[in-house]
Amino acid sequence: MSIVSPTPEAIARAVELLRAGELVGLPTETVYGLGADAMDPVAVGRIFTAKGRPADHPLIVHLPDAEHLPRWASRIPKEAIALANAFWPGPLTLILPREDEVPDVVTGGQATVGLRVPDHPVALALLKAFDSGIAAPSANRFGRISPTTADHVAQELGDRIAMILDGGPCTVGIESTILDLSRDEPEILRPGAIGVDDIAAVIGRRPRLRGGQVPDTGNNAAPSPDVAPAGDSAAPRVSGSLAAHYAPTTPLLLIAVEHLFDEAVTLAGEGSRVAVLARTASDPGDPRLTWLCAGPQPTAYAHDLYANLRALDAIAADFILVESLPTTPDWSAITDRLGRAAVGSGETDET
Q: Could you report the average pLDDT of every consecutive run of 10 residues in the chain (351 residues)?
A: 93 98 98 98 97 93 98 98 98 98 96 98 98 98 96 94 97 98 96 97 95 37 35 74 91 97 96 97 93 95 98 96 96 96 80 37
For the beta sheet containing 112-116, the strands, ordered from the edge strand earlier in sequence to the opposite edge, are: 3-4, 163-165, 24-26, 33-37, 134-135, 60-62, 112-116, 92-97, 177-180, 187-190, 208-209
3-165 architecture in CATH?
A: Alpha-Beta Complex (3.90)
Sign of dihedral through CA atoms 164, 167, 173, 177?
negative
Backbone angles phi and psi of 263, in degrees to 5: -65, -40
Determine the pLDDT at residue 138.
97
Domain range annotation of the chain: 3-165, 252-344
> CATH top-level class for 252-344?
alpha beta
SS3 at position 285 = coil
3-165 shares its CATH topology with 252-344: no
Determine the pLDDT at residue 2.
86
What single DSSP character describes residue 20?
Answer: T
